[in-house]
Amino acid sequence: MIIISVVVLGGIGLISSVLLYIISKKFEIQEDPRIGLTLEALPSANCGGCGYPGCAGFAAACVKAESLDELLCPVGGKAVMDKVAEILGKKVTEVEARVAVVRCQGDCEARAKTNVYDGLKACAAVSKLYAGETACAYGCLAYGDCVRVCSFGAIYINESTGLAEVDEDKCTSCGACVKACPKNLIELRKKGPKSRMIYVGCMSKDKGGDAKKACARACIGCSKCEKACEFGAISLVANLAYIDFQKCCLCRKCVSACPTNAIMELNFLPEREATEAKAMAE
Amino acid sequence: MLKTFRIGGIHPCENKFSAGGQIRQAMLPERAVIFLAQHLGVPAEAVVKKGDMVKVGTLIGKSAGFISANIHSSVSGKVARVEAMPDMSGYRRPAIVVDVEGDEWEPTVDCSEELTVHTDLDAKDIIKRIADAGIVGMGGATFPTHVKLSPPPGLKAEIIIINAAECEPYLTSDHSLILEKSKEVIVGTALLMKAVGVTKAVVGIENNKKDAIEALRKVKTEGIEILPLKARYPQGGEKQLIDAVMRRQIQSGALPVSVGAIVQNVGTAFAVYEAVMKNKPLIERIVTVTGRGVVQPSIFRARIGTSVQSLIEDAGGFVGNQGKVIAGGPMMGKALSSTEVPVVKGTSGILLLPQEESYRRKSNNCIRCAKCVQACPMGLNPTLLMMATEFGNWQLAEDNYIIDCIDCGSCSYTCPSFRPLLDSIRLGKDKVGTLIRARK
Amino acid sequence: MKKELIVSPSPHIHGGDSVEKNMYGVLVALGPAFLLSLYYFGLGALTVTLVSVSACVLFEFLIRKYLMKQPLSISDGSAILTGVLLAFNLPSNLQVWIIIVGALFAVGVAKMPFGGLGNNIFNPALAGRVFLLISFPAQMTIWPVPGSFPPTYVDGETGATLLSLLNDGAGAKLPAYKDMLLGKMGGSLGEVSAIALVIGFAFMLFRKIITWHIPVSILVTVFVFTGIMYIVNPETYVNPVIHLLSGGLLLGAIFMATDYVTSPMSISGMIVFGVGIGLLTSVIRLFGAYPEGVSFAILIMNAVTPLINTYFKPKHFGSK
C93 or C280, which is more confident: C280
Q: Quick one: angle between helices A33-41 and A77-88, nearest 10?
A: 160
Confidence of residue B140 (pLDDT cuts 50, 70, 90): confident
CA end-to-end distance (rounded Å), chain C = 55
Burial B331-361 (b: 16+ CB within 10 A, else e): bbbbbbbbbebbbbbbbbbbbbbbeebbebe
Looking at the structure, tell me whether residues A74 and A107 fall in a common domain. Answer: no
How many distinct structural domains can be found in chain A?
2
Looking at the structure, tell me whether residues A134 and A261 fall in a common domain. Answer: yes
Q: By mean pLDDT, which of A41-45, B49-53, B172-176, C165-169 is the weakest? A: C165-169
Closest A-chain CA to C2? A114
CA end-to-end distance (rounded Å), chain A = 97
SS3 C24: helix
pLDDT 10s digits, B354-377: 988 889 998 888 999 999 999 999
Q: Any CB–CB contact under 8 A between B339 and chain A?
A: no
Looking at the structure, tell me whether residues A119 and A259 fall in a common domain. Answer: yes
The pLDDT assigned to C156 comes to: 33
Chain B environment of A135 (Cβ under 8 Å)? 86, 90
On whether residue A26 sits in a domain, the answer given is no
- The type of residue at B391 is F
Q: In what order do the strands lie in the sheet with B45-46?
A: B45-46, B59-62, B71-72
Q: HSE (CB half, 13 Å, CA atoms) of B340? A: 12
CA–CA–CA angle B108, B112, B114 (5° rounding): 125
B170: pLDDT strictly greater than 70: yes
CA end-to-end distance (rounded Å), chain B = 45
Say if CB B303 and CB B342 are below 8 A apart.
Answer: no
The mean pLDDT value for B59-77 works out to 93
Helical residues (DSSP H) of B114-172, grouped into ranges: 123-132, 145-148
C44 or C58, which is more confident: C58
Q: By mean pLDDT, which of B343-347, B401-405, C138-142 is the weakest? A: C138-142
B152: pLDDT strictly greater than 70: yes
The pLDDT assigned to C152 comes to: 44
Q: In terms of Cα–Cα distance, which of B307, B285, B298, B301 is closest to B30? A: B307
**Cβ within 8 Å, pair B358-C11:** no
Q: By mean pLDDT, which of A70-84, B6-20, B55-69, C289-303 is the weakest? A: A70-84
SS3 B54: strand
The pLDDT assigned to C153 comes to: 41
What percent of chain B has pLDDT above 90? 80
Rounded to whole angstroms, the Cα distance separating B438 from B225 reads 44
Looking at the structure, tell me whether residues A69 and A172 fall in a common domain. Answer: no
Chain B environment of A120 (Cβ under 8 Å)? 420, 423-424, 427
- The type of residue at A91 is K
Chain C environment of B421 (Cβ under 8 Å)? none
The pLDDT assigned to B322 comes to: 85
| Average pLDDT across chain B, whole number | 92
Q: Any CB–CB contact under 8 A between A209 and chain B?
A: no
Say if CB B339 and CB B323 are below 8 A apart.
Answer: no
The mean pLDDT value for B234-261 works out to 92
Q: How many CB pairs under 8 A join A and B?
A: 46
CB atoms under 10 Å from CB of C289, counted, come to 7
Range of the domain at A60: 34-88
Q: Any CB–CB contact under 8 A between A94 and chain B?
A: no
C192: pLDDT strictly greater than 80: no
**Cβ within 8 Å, pair C7-A114:** no
B71: pLDDT strictly greater than 50: yes
On whether residue A280 sits in a domain, the answer given is no
Rounded to whole angstroms, the Cα distance separating A21 from B297 reads 79
Chains touching C, CB cut-off 8 Å, 3+ pairs: A, B
CA–CA–CA angle A195, A200, A202 (5° rounding): 130
pLDDT 10s digits, C3-18: 788 999 989 999 989 9
Å between A135 CA and nearest CA of chain B: 7
Say if CB C300 and CB C253 are below 8 A apart.
Answer: no
Secondary structure (DSSP) of C94-131: --HHHHHHHHIIIIIIIIGGGTSTTT-SS-HHHHHHHH
Say if CB A123 and CB A176 are below 8 A apart.
Answer: no
Q: How far is CA C165 from CA B240, C141, C237, in A?
A: 55, 12, 12
Say if CB B239 and CB B249 are below 8 A apart.
Answer: yes
- ipTM associated with this complex: 0.87
Confidence of residue C178 (pLDDT cuts 50, 70, 90): low
The mean pLDDT value for B25-31 works out to 92
The pLDDT assigned to C247 comes to: 66
Closest A-chain CA to B390? A122
Query: What is the rounded (10 degree) CA torsion for B17, B411, B408, B172?
Result: -10
The mean pLDDT value for A185-190 works out to 91
Confidence of residue A277 (pLDDT cuts 50, 70, 90): low
Looking at the structure, tell me whether residues A122 and A260 fall in a common domain. Answer: yes
Domain ranges of chain C: 19-311
The pLDDT assigned to C159 comes to: 46
B256: pLDDT strictly greater than 70: yes
**To probe the interface with C, which of A108, A113, A114, A127 has the most C CB atoms within 10 Å?**
A114
On whether residue A3 sits in a domain, the answer given is no
Looking at the structure, tell me whether residues A65 and A173 fall in a common domain. Answer: no
The pLDDT assigned to C157 comes to: 37
The pLDDT assigned to C139 comes to: 82
Of B90, B92, B430, the CB nearest to A130: B90
On whether residue A45 sits in a domain, the answer given is yes
Say if CB B232 and CB B11 are below 8 A apart.
Answer: yes
The full length of chain A comes to 282
The pLDDT assigned to C167 comes to: 55
Of A115, A124, A128, the CB nearest to B337: A115
C149: pLDDT strictly greater than 60: no
The mean pLDDT value for B198-211 works out to 93
The pLDDT assigned to B116 comes to: 86
What are the backbone angles phi and psi of residue A179, rounded to the nearest 5°?
-75, -30
Say if CB B23 and CB B180 are below 8 A apart.
Answer: yes
Q: By mean pLDDT, which of B33-47, C151-165, C202-216 is the weakest? A: C151-165
Which residues have a Cβ under 8 Å from the Cβ of B148 and sit 6 or more positions away? B137, B262, B264
Q: In terms of Cα–Cα distance, which of A139, A224, A226 is closest to A186? A: A139
**Cβ within 8 Å, pair B337-C22:** no
Q: How many CB pairs under 8 A join B and C?
A: 159
Conformational region of residue B248, where left means phi above 0, alpha means psi within -120 to 50, and beta covers everything else: beta
- Between residues 1 and 60 of chain C, which touch chain A (CB distance below 8 Å)? 4-9
CATH of the domain at A134: 3.30.70.20
Confidence of residue A67 (pLDDT cuts 50, 70, 90): confident
**To probe the interface with B, which of C8, C10, C117 has the most B CB atoms within 10 Å?**
C10
Chain B environment of C25 (Cβ under 8 Å)? none
Confidence of residue A278 (pLDDT cuts 50, 70, 90): low
The pLDDT assigned to A274 comes to: 60
A279: pLDDT strictly greater than 90: no
Looking at the structure, tell me whether residues A181 and A245 fall in a common domain. Answer: yes
CATH of the domain at A82: 1.10.15
Give the DSSP H/E element, type plus range, for residue B83.
Answer: strand B77-86
Closest C-chain CA to A131? C7
C160: pLDDT strictly greater than 70: no
Determine the CATH number of domain C19-311: 1.10.3430
Looking at the structure, tell me whether residues A80 and A125 fall in a common domain. Answer: no
Chain A environment of C14 (Cβ under 8 Å)? none
The mean pLDDT value for C22-26 works out to 93
The pLDDT assigned to A275 comes to: 67
Looking at the structure, tell me whether residues A266 and A129 fall in a common domain. Answer: yes
Chain B environment of C260 (Cβ under 8 Å)? 367-370
Chain B environment of A131 (Cβ under 8 Å)? 86, 89-91, 337
C1: pLDDT strictly greater than 50: no
| Average pLDDT across chain C, whole number | 84
On whether residue A59 sits in a domain, the answer given is yes
**Cβ within 8 Å, pair A115-C8:** no
A267 or A186, which is more confident: A186
B311: pLDDT strictly greater than 90: yes
**To probe the interface with C, which of B338, B365, B384 has the most C CB atoms within 10 Å?**
B365
